[in-house]
Chain A
Amino acid sequence: MILAMDTSTDVLSVSLHNGQEIIEEYSSKNKNKHSTRLMPAIDRIMKEAKVTPQDLTKIVVGMGPGSYTGVRIALSTAKTMAWTLNIPVVGVSSLRALSLQAAGDDYVCSFLDARRGLVYAGLYDKAGNEVLPEVNILMDEWLEKLAALNKQVTFVSPDLDKFQSLIGEHLGDRALYKPNGHHLMRAGLLAEVGKDFGPTDPHLLVPNYLRLVEAEAKWLEKQKADQHDR
């Protein structure tokens, strides 16, 4: 029995997957309550399915990018459960999981608002391979890259409203959008993509932040500048 979880966005999502299909899934959009609600949500779906922690065979976790704090809540929970129950853990990019909402389309771009015009973004082909590496980038710049590919791209994002007109400016009718209801993170899809992945050592699984800590970035910049001055 596979347990999957993601708290990298405003949506908290947990799911149980028996290897063939999703048997339980619970999602809730309630920002900032992930810390208090994740463990009770897991407890609830496991009770529903009459599954005990000892019945779990694998844990799949959305490793970000997204809210730093949110990503760490799921990661800490998943790493600890996998380590202490002695079962494999798999980290899946939360962007990749999100892109599954448009599975079957040729090119799928999933993205999350990262504020100040920036996004976390990924682009995948039909088989789920990364066409461009996941990045933290200005949406303007990202869309230019997509336009240069000259392909039809399906967009999936909980923050689509905020960027839809900008996407239109760059891609025109080469941009496709999934209907409402297909833009939120779902742990069931996370389990689907993660169930066949090879495991990571739980000690070594780290979040996919896609961004340095601001203080660290500034410090590195200063080191570079100092080296120039010398």
Chain B
Amino acid sequence: MGGIMKKTDQINILAIETSCDETAAAIIQNGHTILSEVVATQIDSHKRFGGVVPEIASRHHVEQMTQVLEETLTKASLTMEEIDAVAVTEGPGLVGALLVGVATAKALAFSHQLPLIGVHHIAGHIYANQLVESFKFPLLCLVVSGGHTELILMKEHGKFEVIGETRDDACGEAYDKVARVLDVPYPGGPHVDKLAKLGNDTLNLPRIYLEEDSYDFSFSGLKSAVINTVHNAKQKGIALKKEDIACSFQESVVEVLVEKTYRASVEYGVKQVVVAGGVAANSRLREALRERFNDPEVTLSIPPLALCTDNASMIGAAAYNDYQKQAFRGLDLNANPGLDLEQYGKR
């Protein structure tokens, strides 16, 4: 849609995010200031199933979406007349869940004849950092979540180059599987992190670096090592402390993540390193990154905890570039569960 741009320097973007199990909306001014933000989480609805049930997630989204939007506008004391564009996560994610957000965003844009912007979920996670400080390029981003483990190089706004990615499980997935071995409740990641703080790195689990020059990751071997170690100990009648298992696993994950990120930051001469995704909330990862990146020439940005999990503020932040470029989308915008980040950057 080729809406007419408002002649003011305050640009308010209303953003919507429904890619998984959070129904979220936010209003972001000029790509960096959160005017309001609402997240309706569904964790309690999925807990009894030990993971997100896509159909249940979609049902919740359609029930909660307009209420979340109303609360978002009320919190910012704004009306739709003061909104300049509507942004929405178009992918990747659960298709049924994404579709609710996309249909809602299009209905809003159409009703008020506003420009519509589609955002890649991971671009959103990366741009969560823009809500804290401005980007300096070249920039390296470590994306770690339940569905992603990637190292992404950015030379300018809105362009993404994947220089490393997981060859099997995502980092957050490995956490969930180890959480199951340790028999801690869903969602497992934060529980493993908590246990690890109380234990020691005693199990000598492998550090999986793959080829020397590779920035790719692999976590399935580590997960198997944890399972085997626990199994063997049981056979021998040795009682392993849960805390030690959690700590040993976490140390191995964090060491590889931090070391690869550091090496890539040196090779590409980056000015800023940002961390994004749910696992960016992990306390040990945050601590280890701060220890490793003590070079004043390189800015390390780790978003505050509230911006690590899925939210709409990050979508509104990422959408601002498209607003400036007037890269607007039509009313035929669709959900794209397999949307590729590099391709999205070429839009």
Contact = CB atoms under 8 A, between A and B. Distances in A.
Interface of A: 35-40, 42-43, 53, 68-69, 72-73, 75-81, 83-85, 202-203, 206-207, 209, 213-216, 219
Contacts of B110: 39, 42-43, 53, 81
A72 B62 contact: yes
Give the dominant DSSP class at A's interface: helix
B332 interface: yes
Contacts of B104: 76-77, 79-80
25 contacts: A39-B106, A39-B107, A39-B331, A40-B330, A40-B332, A53-B110, A53-B112, A68-B58, A68-B96, A72-B103, A73-B103, A76-B65, A76-B100, A77-B106, A79-B65, A79-B66, A79-B104, A80-B103, A81-B111, A83-B66, A84-B80, A203-B66, A203-B67, A206-B62, A215-B56
B247 interface: no
Given A72-B96, A72-B99, A85 B111 contact: yes
B282 interface: no
Contacts, number: 103
Contact of B70 (A53, A83, A85, A206): A83
A215 B58 CA distance: 14
Nearest to B63: A206
Interface residues of B, number: 36
A36 B332 contact: yes
A79 B110 CA distance: 13
Contacts of B35: none
A40 B106 CA distance: 10
A136 to B, nearest CB: 15
Interface stretch (B47-55, B140-148, B180-188, B238-246): B47-55
B186 to A, nearest CB: 14
A80 B56 contact: no
A37 B332 contact: yes
Q: Closest 4 interchain pairs by CB?
A: A80-B107, A76-B103, A39-B331, A36-B332
Given A40-B332, A80-B66, 8 more contacts: A76-B107, A78-B107, A84-B80, A203-B70, A206-B63, A213-B59, A215-B53, A215-B55
Contact of A216 (B56, B113, B331, B335): B56
B221 to A, nearest CB: 31
A200 B70 CA distance: 17
A16 to B, nearest CB: 15
B99 A73 contact: yes
Nearest to B333: A36
A35 B63 CA distance: 18
Nearest to A218: B49
Contact of B48 (A43, A69, A77, A219): A219
A78 B95 CA distance: 20
A53 B110 CA distance: 8
Nearest to B96: A69
Contacts of A219: 48-49
Interface in B190-215: none
B56 A202 contact: no
A74 B58 CA distance: 13
Contact of A80 (B53, B99, B111, B113): B111
Interface in B263-280: none
A80 B96 contact: no
Contacts of B102: 35
A46 B292 CA distance: 59
Nearest to B105: A80
A187 to B, nearest CB: 16
A75 B95 CA distance: 16
B307 interface: no
Contacts of A40: 330-332
B239 to A, nearest CB: 30
Contacts of B108: 80, 84
Contacts of B96: 68-69, 72
Interface in B28-82: 48-49, 53, 55-56, 58-59, 61-63, 65-67, 69-70, 80
Nearest to B55: A213
Nearest to B58: A72
Contacts of A76: 62, 65, 99-100, 103-104, 107
B164 to A, nearest CB: 33
Contacts of A207: 59, 62
A8 to B, nearest CB: 13
Nearest to B64: A203
Interface in B307-328: none
B334 interface: yes
| Residue among B66, B108, B334 facing the most chain A CB atoms (10 A cut-off) | B66
Given A69-B96, A72-B100, A80-B108, A213 B53 contact: yes
Nearest to B98: A35
Nearest to B67: A203
B331 A43 contact: yes
Contact of B99 (A42, A69, A215): A69
B50 to A, nearest CB: 10
Nearest to B59: A213
Given A35-B99, A206-B63, A68 B49 contact: no
